[in-house]
């Protein structure tokens, strides 16, 4: 049991770097009184949201832990692992957001003196998040594994904790940010005609808080889940290989060491990007990302040869990395204004909002083709490289390794991902504090770069979700002892149909929640403008707190139903129709969930950039009818790309892992309905 | 082989009634010169479209027939059956549309003297279509069956002919009608400010032609496919039961006799509805529909007891009927302005088009929940009633019978479905011929009734698509000799993922085609208004023919790619990844296809009625900003509900039946990729 300590060292190292970066950020100047005040509002609003969210989650965690403890086939050990996974997921989000709400104002202040230092602060903020995610992830998993004497069964409990918190955080954060965004835009920009981030807008603080709770804390919990999910998927399959004497203990060690190597590579990449002397911020981020990626590739080749004696595992990992990167590129092609799809949506906007919507939906649907084929190729290559149909369990392990490979540099991709909202927030603070125009220009430039790298991160998230779910799915079959999930059996096909329906239902719920919450916000902003006419003249202060409260309350209320259903429905169907139908349900949910997630994310991204493209001056530019149509597309796309779409990736893994954890219960009680006949 | 002749008698009877109704319609007055001229334009435009469409289809039919003939494992017999299925499908659409384009003007003329006779003519027109569909269907199937000495294998060739024509007709007709509709509305109503169906609008004839080629001919081919598909599914499973000595020959006879009984019940229902003395047209249609339905229920109970000695088949059939009817009711709840969902979309339209779209999409997604659960219950009840897991083939046969039961009164439901566009067309003719305002009121009233009955028809179409596909799917497994389609096998799961992607891709293609065709139409109408300023003053005649040509050309061009892909992709994947992966593909396509079809149809219907609800006077009524938002929703909904949505039901069955027909080829050459490893 000594190699596991390498993982602990890597995890501690990641947290150490996160701590150092965090302290360095805090030492920077946080600007003048006005900036401090605004940043204080945002920080407090974000923390108040997290605090209230954690209260709800605490109840949820305790209830599930008690249920697990009283079910004999699960027991207190699973419950403890579950609680640990949940708490670490919360901590990852908390660390990241805490530092992000400090880095934003310091980035704005640094931007007064140009780009270089502002980039460093914003990126360091993102790196704290990224390294916290991977550090806590690897540490948590390794400790759970060692604590339970190498029994991987309890890791699934850890994964359930991480997944369920991720879903709540993503859905809650997504609803919060979009409600505030839509509310601030629709009344402020459209009705009152004041610019974005104008301090007279009562929803402006809520909007900036939203960027933090949605795009930072929500995304952190999301990627924590993806990261540990992929490792757990590989570890449980590895353990099955060990128990069947197909492989030795290296099958369990390998994913942990690979993840540890990925952490070290991420740290090196982060340090390079952060200290880059390049004047071009895009280049700085790219250099770091590519160096990190290349390091992982080299290390995985060496590890594959050292531990397994051949390069089969390496091929599986490379196939995962390549698939993820190409999906990222495809995502960019479908959502960037440099390519024809976004341009076409802008062109179609000339005939009104209806054609904007139709063409955007068509682009989103079309954009599913290549990613699905790539995922298919990735699955087949990884499967046949490691084992294939002769040794199917080995092949499945290869698929799981491909996902671990994709996510091994999560520390780096999260750093780039989380850097965006920090720069965005810095711009908002600059605007509200009425800093010179040049400051905003710097932050805007910082915000706009990193899109390519962020797109690759998205590609990894989508690709790994499918591969991880597939790996967990195989473990589910191992644990329930079913030898097939045969869709020729109508009961299984019923499971597939119900499973395929769930992402639709889930998206409907989350989209409606955004609508409801946004409406409340719109009413409140309108009320304030009406009752306090001094706001617009600058003689009266708007009441930011009420808007923050509305977003907070609505997000928390609305996250409960989708979150709970994701956990209850698989267990219910498993007990009613049996383990095989539940397997069908998962397969159906993965298939339609991956598709809806790609469709919604890309349609949303394409609409967003089509609007920006029009704002750049084509087809009449800002204020034209074409632009108005583009704004409609962007508003529809907001819940698509920031709430429903990303939540689906978590949903499919959460449902898989719920089934996996509750497998003993389903084996014992499953198929109630069948027993009636 | 004598009981089969009952089916032939029923088929002939249906065609006889269709012929009589058709002659009676022709005897009615077709109005004044102006009406004759307009009706002539519509009739010629529709026939010109069909003629050009048939030229394309003829090439397609010949090519596929030749391919079938040269493949030894298929042979000329399958090719002949294929050609017959294709030709009968074309004939059903042709008969129906031919009489519909005669009934429209006669309905308008009759409406001068009140409602009663107008209803009779319009409904008779619909009935010709309905009875042609079922008459040709049952005749064609029975003759094919007898001609090939009771070898059901060739019936699948017949089904492939019907399905492929249905897809082309639905897609082509759907693109035609929506391009013309959007073009006429956007330039005529919105830009030029002239009312709907104004003869000054150059696209007005194309718009009315579209109602015929889309809603009559397209729908006729669609339901011909559903109808024969469900019977083929039951017949092939019945034949498998016979060959395994589980049941005697009655397993094959039963579906044919059930269909024949359904034809007789439909004729009785049609005659009752047609000759009803009720002043309330809704009541007349309902009475006929209910009597037809009750007759089928009674007969199926008697047949079940007589032929199988128990009521098991009856339970399966009843479960299908109930599921179809409740899905119809649910469809109505989600798409009618009498219920909360449509009202909510209208309410949300007050904050602009973006919220109209978000809430409409959410309603569409939400509306999938209950239909999927109902389909699941229907599958399980039919499966366990007939056989269950002990005798799984019997259970599958039960599922197929449930679909036959749902569609047994197709003659009646098509009559009601096709009656709507005839009344709609009559209204258009009344408007263009400047008949008194009262005439339009009568036709509007006729058009508005029958929605409930039409909704039930839609429920049957959706429910039966899933059940039929499932039955055909089981036959596919029989024919390829695979014993399982195990999604634990990653290769199969790859099939599921690709299959689930296809409906997304297909919808993207068809939605884009509508957009492209509509844009061409918009340009042409604008050009005519600009170059011939006399049109608006009434001094110059618009050029209707060019608009008709544009719709025709675009529809035919755009239907080719989606149609061909639906046939080529399953064969390609089968050869590449093998029979089991192809099974996975079908399961994935059925799951996501059924969901997308329900979502798109219901969202489209809900938007349509939300717009009408606003036009009724709420939230500012016609011309208000809320109304404009409602119009955006309706325009997005048009390709949803009339092109992409309904095509998906055909797509999933077409892909299933392609796989079934080409099963011998896939068994022989399948799994090329696997052979490489």
Is B107 in a helix, a strand, or coil? helix
With contact defined as beta carbons under 8 Å apart, do A174 and A557 qualify?
A: no
Is A486 in a helix, a strand, or coil? strand
Q: Which residues from chain A sit within 8 angstroms of residue B673, using beta carbons? A: 380
Question: Is B32 within the bounds of a domain?
Answer: no
User: Which among B354, B636, B677 has CB closest to A358?
Assistant: B636
Rg (CA), chain B: 24
With contact defined as beta carbons under 8 Å apart, do B530 and B192 qualify?
A: no
Question: Is B21 within the bounds of a domain?
Answer: no
Name the pLDDT band for B677 (thresholds 50, 70, 90).
low
**CA–CA dist A375, A326 (Å, integer):** 10
Contact B357 A357 (CB under 8 A): yes
Please state, rounded to an integer, the average pLDDT across all residues of chain B: 91
pLDDT of residue B351: 86
* β-bridge partners, B486: A486
Please state, rounded to an integer, the average pLDDT across all residues of chain A: 91
Question: Is B424 within the bounds of a domain?
Answer: yes
Please tell me chain B's helix, strand, coil percentages from 3-state DSSP, rounded to the nearest 5: 85, 0, 15
**Residue whose C-alpha is closest to residue B564's, from B606, B514, B509, B497:** B509
Q: Which residues from chain B sit within 8 angstroms of residue A501, using beta carbons? A: 368-369, 372, 595
User: What is the nearest CA distance from A216 to chain B, expressed in angstroms?
Assistant: 25
pLDDT of residue B70: 94
Contact B584 A487 (CB under 8 A): yes
Given a cut of 90, is residue A595 above it in pLDDT? yes
pLDDT (tens digit per residue) in B536-591: 888 888 888 899 889 888 888 888 888 899 999 999 999 999 999 999 999 999 99
Question: Is B3 within the bounds of a domain?
Answer: no
Given a cut of 80, is residue B215 above it in pLDDT? yes
Q: Which residues from chain A sit within 8 angstroms of residue B375, using beta carbons? A: 497
Q: Which residues of B459-479 are buried (b: 16+ CB within 10 A; e: fewer)?
A: bbbbbbbbbbbbbbbbbbbbb
pLDDT of residue A450: 62
A442-458 mean pLDDT: 74
pLDDT (tens digit per residue) in B163-195: 999 999 999 999 999 888 888 887 887 777 788
Contact B490 A505 (CB under 8 A): no
**CA–CA dist B407, B262 (Å, integer):** 8
Question: Is A526 within the bounds of a domain?
Answer: no
Given a cut of 80, is residue B676 above it in pLDDT? no
Name the pLDDT band for A317 (thresholds 50, 70, 90).
very high
User: Which among B354, B486, B504 has CB closest to A636?
Assistant: B354
**CA–CA dist A200, B676 (Å, integer):** 67
Is B486 in a helix, a strand, or coil? strand
**Residue whose C-alpha is closest to residue A379's, from A470, A458, A251:** A470
**CA–CA dist B658, B398 (Å, integer):** 23
B331-352 mean pLDDT: 92
Given a cut of 70, is residue A635 above it in pLDDT? yes
ipTM > 0.90, yes or no = yes
Q: Does B673 touch chain A (CB under 8 A)?
A: yes
pLDDT of residue A454: 66
Which of B33-42, B352-361, B534-543 shows the lowest per-residue confidence on average (mean pLDDT)?
B534-543
Mutation pick from A488, A512, A625, A659 vs chain B, by most beta carbons of B within 10 Å, is: A488
Contacts of B673 (CB under 8 A, 6+ apart): A380, B576, B577
Phi, psi angle pair for B486, to nearest 5°:
-95, 110
Phi, psi angle pair for B624, to nearest 5°:
-75, 170
**CA–CA dist A409, A328 (Å, integer):** 15
Given a cut of 60, is residue B1 above it in pLDDT? no
pLDDT of residue A451: 63
B:352-391 residues touching chain A, CB 8 A cutoff: 352-355, 357-359, 361-366, 368-369, 372-373, 375-376, 379-380, 383-384, 388-389
A:170-189 residues touching chain B, CB 8 A cutoff: 186
Contact A504 B365 (CB under 8 A): yes
pLDDT of residue A449: 75
With contact defined as beta carbons under 8 Å apart, do A404 and A231 qualify?
A: yes
**A447: alpha, beta or left, given left = phi > 0 and alpha = psi -120 to 50?**
alpha
User: Which among A384, A496, A512 has CB closest to B591?
Assistant: A496
Q: Does A519 touch chain B (CB under 8 A)?
A: yes
Given a cut of 80, is residue B505 above it in pLDDT? yes
Report the number of distinct structural domains present in chain B: 1
Please tell me chain A's helix, strand, coil percentages from 3-state DSSP, rounded to the nearest 5: 85, 0, 15
Given a cut of 80, is residue B296 above it in pLDDT? yes
Question: Is B252 within the bounds of a domain?
Answer: yes
HSE (side-chain half, CA atoms, 13 Å) at A219: 30
Q: List alpha helices for A211-304, DSSP H.
A: 219-243, 250-274, 281-303
Torsion of CA B460, B461, B467, B470, to 10 degrees: 180
Q: Distances in Å between the alpha carbon of A46 and those of A179, A243, A642, B252, B378?
A: 15, 47, 17, 68, 49
Q: Which residues from chain A sit within 8 angstroms of residue B389, using beta carbons? A: 489, 491, 674
**CA–CA dist A647, A189 (Å, integer):** 28
Contact A399 B489 (CB under 8 A): no
Q: Which residue range is the domain that position A297 belongs to?
A: 4-486
Note the Cα A407 to chain centre separation in Å.
12
Given a cut of 90, is residue A478 above it in pLDDT? no
Strand runs labelled E in B13-103: none
Q: Which residues from chain B sit within 8 angstroms of residue A352, using beta carbons? A: 186, 632, 635
Contact A389 B674 (CB under 8 A): yes
Question: Is A534 within the bounds of a domain?
Answer: no
Contacts of A35 (CB under 8 A, 6+ apart): A105, A108, A109, A429, A433, A435
Contacts of B313 (CB under 8 A, 6+ apart): B254, B300, B303, B304, B307, B386, B398, B401
Share of chain B above pLDDT 70, in %: 99
State which H helix or E strand residue A670 sits in: none
**CA–CA dist A410, A259 (Å, integer):** 9
HSE (side-chain half, CA atoms, 13 Å) at B242: 16
Question: Is B611 within the bounds of a domain?
Answer: yes
How many CB pairs lie under 8 A apart between chains A and B? 236
Contact A359 B395 (CB under 8 A): no
pLDDT of residue B68: 95
pLDDT (tens digit per residue) in A94-149: 999 999 999 999 999 999 988 889 999 999 999 999 999 999 999 999 999 999 98
Q: Which residues from chain A sit within 8 angstroms of residue B625, using beta carbons? A: none
Give A414 or B85, the one with higher predicted confidence: B85
B483-506 mean pLDDT: 94
A478-500 mean pLDDT: 92
Q: Which residues from chain B sit within 8 angstroms of residue A608, using beta carbons? A: none
Given a cut of 90, is residue A670 above it in pLDDT? no
With contact defined as beta carbons under 8 Å apart, do B625 and B563 qualify?
A: no
**B621: alpha, beta or left, given left = phi > 0 and alpha = psi -120 to 50?**
left
Contact A497 B376 (CB under 8 A): yes
Share of chain B above pLDDT 90, in %: 60
**Residue whose C-alpha is closest to residue B471's, from B241, B172, B189:** B241
Given a cut of 60, is residue A1 above it in pLDDT? no
Given a cut of 70, is residue A677 above it in pLDDT? no
Q: Distances in Å between the alpha carbon of A316 and those of A48, A229, A236, A396?
A: 44, 18, 17, 10
Name the pLDDT band for A453 (thresholds 50, 70, 90).
low
Contact B369 A501 (CB under 8 A): yes
pLDDT (tens digit per residue) in B129-144: 999 999 999 999 999 9
User: Which among B376, B485, B636 has CB closest to A354?
Assistant: B636
Name the pLDDT band for B452 (thresholds 50, 70, 90).
low
* β-bridge partners, A486: B486
Q: Which residues from chain A sit within 8 angstroms of residue B349, using beta carbons? A: none
């Amino acid at each position: 049991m000594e190699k596991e300590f390498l993982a602990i060292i890597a995890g501690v190292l990641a947290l150490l770097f996160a701590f150092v970066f965090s302290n360095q950020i805090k030492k920077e100047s946080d600007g003048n009184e006005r900036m401090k005040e605004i940043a204080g509002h945002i920080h407090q609003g974000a923390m108040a949201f997290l605090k209230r969210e954690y209260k709800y989650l605490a109840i949820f965690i305790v209830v599930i832990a008690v249920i697990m403890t009283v079910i004999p086939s699960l027991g207190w050990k699973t419950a403890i692992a579950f609680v640990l996974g949940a708490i670490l997921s919360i901590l990852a989000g908390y660390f990241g957001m805490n530092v992000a709400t400090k880095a934003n104002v310091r980035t704005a202040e640094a931007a007064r003196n140009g780009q270089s230092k502002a980039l460093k602060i914003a990126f360091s903020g993102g790196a704290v998040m990224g390294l916290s995610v991977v550090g806590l992830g690897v540490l948590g998993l390794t400790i759970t594994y060692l604590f339970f004497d190498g029994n991987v069964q309890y890791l699934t409990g850890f994964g359930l904790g991480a997944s369920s918190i991720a879903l709540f955080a993503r859905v809650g954060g997504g609803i919060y940010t979009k409600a505030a965004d839509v509310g601030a835009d629709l009344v402020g920009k459209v009705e009152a005609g004041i610019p974005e981030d104008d301090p007279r807008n009562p929803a402006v603080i809520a909007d900036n808080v939203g960027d933090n709770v949605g795009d930072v804390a929500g995304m952190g919990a999301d990627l924590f889940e993806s990261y540990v999910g992929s490792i757990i998927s590989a570890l449980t399959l590895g353990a099955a290989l060990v128990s069947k004497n197909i492989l030795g203990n290296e099958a369990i060690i390998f994913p942990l060491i690979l993840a540890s190597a990925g952490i070290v590579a991420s740290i090196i990449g982060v340090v390079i990007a952060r200290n880059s002397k390049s004047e071009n911020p895009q280049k700085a981020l790219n250099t770091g990302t590519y160096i990190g990626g290349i390091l992982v590739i080299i290390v995985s080749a060496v590890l594959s040869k050292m531990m397994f004696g051949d390069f089969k595992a390496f091929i599986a990992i490379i196939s995962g990395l390549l698939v993820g990167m190409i999906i990222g590129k495809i995502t960019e092609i479908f959502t960037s204004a440099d390519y024809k799809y976004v341009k076409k949506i802008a062109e179609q906007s000339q005939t009104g909002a209806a054609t904007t919507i139709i063409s955007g939906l068509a682009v989103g649907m079309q954009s599913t083709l290549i990613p699905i084929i790539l995922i298919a190729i990735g699955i087949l290559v990884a499967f046949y490289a490691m084992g294939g149909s002769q040794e199917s369990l080995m092949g499945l392990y290869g698929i799981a390794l491909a996902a671990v490979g994709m996510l091994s540099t999560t520390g780096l991709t999260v750093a780039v991902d989380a850097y965006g909202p920090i720069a965005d927030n810095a711009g908002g603070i600059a605007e509200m504090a009425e800093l010179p125009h040049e400051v905003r220009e710097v932050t805007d430039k910082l915000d706009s770069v990193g899109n390519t790298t962020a797109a690759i991160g998205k590609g990894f998230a989508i690709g790994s979700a499918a591969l991880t779910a597939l790996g967990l799915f195989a473990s589910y079959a191992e644990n329930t002892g079913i030898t097939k999930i045969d869709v020729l059996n109508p009961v299984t096909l019923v499971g597939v149909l119900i499973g395929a329906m769930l992402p639709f239902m889930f998206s409907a719920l989350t989209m409606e929640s955004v609508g409801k919450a946004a409406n409340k916000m719109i009413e409140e902003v309108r009320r304030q403008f009406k009752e306090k006419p001094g706001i617009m003249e600058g003689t009266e202060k708007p009441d930011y707190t009420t808007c923050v409260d509305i977003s907070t309350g609505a997000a928390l209320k609305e996250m409960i139903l989708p979150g709970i259903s994701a956990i209850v429905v698989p267990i219910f169907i498993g007990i009613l129709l049996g383990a095989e139908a539940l397997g069908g349900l998962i397969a159906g949910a993965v298939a339609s969930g991956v598709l809806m997630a790609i469709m919604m994310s890309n349609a949303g991204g394409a609409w967003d950039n089509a609007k920006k493209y029009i704002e750049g001056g084509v087809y009449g530019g800002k204020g034209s009818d074409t632009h108005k149509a583009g704004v409609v597309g962007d508003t529809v796309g907001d819940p698509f790309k920031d709430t429903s779409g990303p939540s689906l990736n978590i949903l499919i893994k959460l449902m898989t892992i719920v089934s996996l954890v509750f497998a003993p219960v389903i084996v014992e009680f499953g198929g109630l309905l069948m027993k009636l006949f």
